[in-house]
Amino acid sequence: MSLPVRITGVGRYLPARMLTNTDLARIVDTAHEWIVTRTGIHERRIAADDETSSTMGAEAAREALASARLDPTGVDLVVTGTCTPDGMFPSTATRIQHAIGARRAAAFDVNAACTGFLSALSVGAQSIAAGTAERVVVVGSETMSRIVDWTDRTTCVLFGDGAGAVVLERAAPGEPGGVGALLLRSDGSQADAIYATGPCTPTAAALSAAALSAEAHIVMDGQAVFRAAVTALSESASDALARAGLTVDDVALCVPHQANIRILQAMARSLGLPMQRVVVNLDRTGNISSTSIPVALAEASDAGRLRPGDQVLLAAFGGGLACGAMVVEWSGVRAPAAPSAAAAGRRAET
């Protein structure tokens, strides 16, 4: 049964600072060709010193609200997917809620690593379907550069910073749009395949020496993550389509988490989905964790790749090991009425 929920606005924010593969080669033992061959990434954005997950998330949320022509005082809920919050508490969503002027809204974070936005989107959609909210802002925002070990070339070449957001509203009978199916899964037995240390990391001897360092950073078993990602993305996408009563031929566009081009190509082959119908922007953004899907969705919308009534497949995989997929009927969104100066400046650069 489809949930009566429409995406009515999209927004994104990418920091101005660009870090290319050539730049990385000056600080770690790597090369542009090595990175591109293994990941497909050419460059990524890095947050400025005064930018955080909440400040970037607020910029993306403002753009999404402008796109939806929605006054922030009409927002009932702000949910943020992030694994790089401004601090232990309060939630990053609370800071975003205040910054955008959504003074009537509840706000909280969801941490499912790279699956965070999809998890937050699920919460928002089900809140509307249950009648506890009418208008929800869902944000994905990450400052991954602050938990990267810049001496580890297996991880530092992958990640970037940025934010994306969507506005969800209740769909009236007969309106295009709706969530046809959603699913979320997790395999905690592989939790140590990719994780980040932090201020509450235990000092048990069982943890690796890297996990006991003073600064929080990402630890990853790349081969294990790659194998699991391809299977999880393909299976969750197939199952979501089956729940929606659709086949891959019905999919107008697939917007997956942007982790690695080889993972996306393997997923597409497994599904029988032409790469022309898969949104790929990781060459310019790197892996921005929970932010990658809303940023790619906003870019696809701006580029005119989505039309009302299109079936859009969202799929994600990340630490947990968590995965999920959602089928959304595109309802059509409008360009922002009055883009902010920051948004206009960013668009001029991209």
Q: What is the pLDDT of residue 175?
A: 81
Q: What is the pLDDT of residue 336?
A: 56
Closest CA to 207 of 192, 218, 224: 192
pLDDT in tens, the chain (350 residues): 689 999 999 999 999 999 999 999 999 999 999 999 999 999 999 999 999 999 999 999 999 999 999 999 999 999 999 999 999 999 999 999 999 999 999 999 999 999 999 999 999 999 999 999 999 999 999 999 999 999 999 999 999 999 999 999 999 888 878 899 999 999 999 999 999 988 777 655 445 554 445 467 899 999 999 999 999 999 999 999 999 999 999 999 999 999 999 999 999 999 999 999 999 999 999 999 999 999 999 999 999 999 999 999 999 999 999 999 999 999 988 655 544 444 544 543 44
- Set 21, 111, 114, 217: catalytic member: 114
Nearest-5° Cα angle at 83, 283 to 144: 40
- What predicted TM-score, i.e. pTM, was given to this entire model? 0.93
Q: For the chain, what is the domain count? A: 1
- Set 83, 217, 287, 323: catalytic member: 287
> Can 257 be counted among the known catalytic residues?
yes
> Can 21 be counted among the known catalytic residues?
no
The Cα–Cα gap between 266 and 247 comes to 18
Buried b (16+ CB within 10 A) or exposed e, 246-271: bebeebebbbbbbbbbebbebbbeeb
- Set 111, 257, 260, 323: catalytic member: 257
Q: Tell me which residue has tokens 């899964």.
A: 185
Q: What is the pLDDT of residue 172?
A: 86
> 223 is in which domain, residue-wise?
1-350
CATH of the domain at 298: 3.40.47.10
The Cα–Cα gap between 102 and 140 comes to 17
